[in-house]
A and B are shown apart, each in its own frame.
Chain A
């Protein structure tokens, strides 16, 4: 069986002869035997956005953004963010963090072992986990998509 679930025949298996007669019909037309297409040597695959954006398909989830604290990073209210859980968060990444059972999208800033969540909008203060508060990084934002009216 191949991936699509079709039965495949091994190359060494005997194949039955096709014994039905082959009827050839002559057509009242001529065929131009021209040059082969020069594009034949340049087989192409069109750019695939999913392939470009999603490196770990099993680990990538889409979430919808609420709020404007990341607008200077280009992440607008209503955008969809692609979150990859397989990537280890590093300083400067945009992440989805879980704090007080809520998912937050912020910059991940790590300095001297202390973690801060920073907004991309001056009017919002940084978030540092208080005593007893746990902060967990859920995933790293690899792209944000804003669809425009059309």
Chain B
């Protein structure tokens, strides 16, 4: 038996903990560079704002309907997520953190009324952190996810599902006819793992709801569609097919890419950006105690600026030997930039990917043809020191000179004009309380 604990409109809810004035208003949180809506409050959904709506199109609703747009405040969301996750873990004995706002909890073998237990955990998360959640329970991950969808929808639209399933919905506690009724009320496209394309095909062949999907023959589904959809059908039937991953594997690749706040044309600006991205990526790599064998870097113009000449180019270079050294990775990225850069384009995005990742312990020493200093223990200690100092005194306290020395915002940095303070991660940005 699994539970899925999911934060409601998570980013908006995090903002509301410190901004009570945002509680009854339509609020959206915007993607990088304040591009489009990536989270919406119920009030924002009610006035018809769609997921992914571009800010420049809905901006005018600020005056008309009191809409509030906020730049994403990831330090805040990450801290609130951590608090929520550690309370959600108390529901069962194993937890898989699935994304910043949802986690599966294995509740197999837990005695007592699971619905009641879930309600208690839900109200504890709300009381302790201020974050509203919904909990769905089911014998498989797909059914737990579906139960969560029901819990969430029943709260907002009581005409679709019975009200008593709002907030906490336990499919495991239902009789077969009750379960079938809920499955029948669920659009096939709302089932976890059914994408938009497959959903359209299913509807065309007469499968419109989750109940009908669950009644298909798995072998036929496999032959006609895919193994993935077969798995979904079996999971809907109550057979566990998707593994529970409570110890996430090391990442197979590490990326750091960003859209710029404004078009960038100069090579030295791109060089600053790529050096910065290389530093971030190398830091992530060291955190999982890995080495990278190859570096990919890319630069591209914006396909949305139709009057601009378009240019996209990427290249991969192997590193002399696998490493997690910031300077070596940045050097590789800059070498790529010099090879692929062309002047007179308005670049909108750049990024780097670290590939061919391997554990640092599996280091293969090359013949001593190159500078020994690069692999020395002193060099590793330097990287450790770098990470410790930056962790303690804030990101960028020590950085490569190639990522720019200016103290003010560089031209290539993100536009985040509507960001709230980092209330829980920066002493200078604490929330004020009047006495």
Contact = CB atoms under 8 A, between A and B. Distances in A.
Interface of A: 1, 56, 58-59, 61-71, 75, 77, 80-81, 83, 85-86, 96, 98, 101-106, 119, 138
B424 A61 contact: yes
A86 B128 contact: yes
A65 B424 contact: no
Given A1-B247, A61-B424, A102-B20, A85 B433 contact: no
Contacts of B21: 101
Given A58-B87, A101-B20, A96 B433 contact: yes
Nearest to A64: B430
B86 interface: yes
A81 B433 contact: yes
B10 to A, nearest CB: 16
Given A58-B86, A98-B20, A105 B129 contact: no
Interface string B17-36: 00011010000000000000
A63 B434 CA distance: 10
Interface string B68-90: 00000000000000011011000
B366 interface: no
Contacts of A63: 430-433
B430 A103 contact: no
A103 B247 CA distance: 40
B130 interface: yes
Contacts of A105: 433-435
B306 interface: no
A130 B432 CA distance: 24
B435 A103 contact: no
A63 B84 CA distance: 20
B405 interface: no
A61 B83 CA distance: 11
Interface in B120-158: 124, 127-130
23 contacts: A58-B86, A58-B87, A58-B129, A59-B128, A61-B424, A61-B431, A63-B430, A64-B433, A66-B432, A66-B433, A66-B434, A68-B435, A69-B435, A70-B435, A75-B435, A80-B430, A85-B129, A86-B127, A103-B433, A104-B433, A105-B434, A105-B435, A106-B435
Given A75-B435, A86-B127, 6 more contacts: A1-B247, A61-B424, A85-B130, A96-B433, A103-B433, A105-B433
Contacts of B124: 86
A103 B430 CA distance: 13
A69 B435 CA distance: 5
B312 to A, nearest CB: 37
Nearest to B428: A64
Contacts of A104: 433-435
Closest 10 CB pairs of A and B: A59-B128, A67-B435, A101-B21, A70-B435, A58-B83, A64-B430, A69-B435, A63-B433, A103-B433, A101-B20
A29 B387 CA distance: 40
Contacts of A106: 435
Contacts of B130: 85, 138
A103 B86 contact: no
Contact of B435 (A61, A62, A80, A119): A119
Contacts of B424: 61-62
A73 B424 CA distance: 25
A30 to B, nearest CB: 32
B20 A103 contact: yes
A69 B433 CA distance: 12
Contacts of B434: 66-67, 102-105
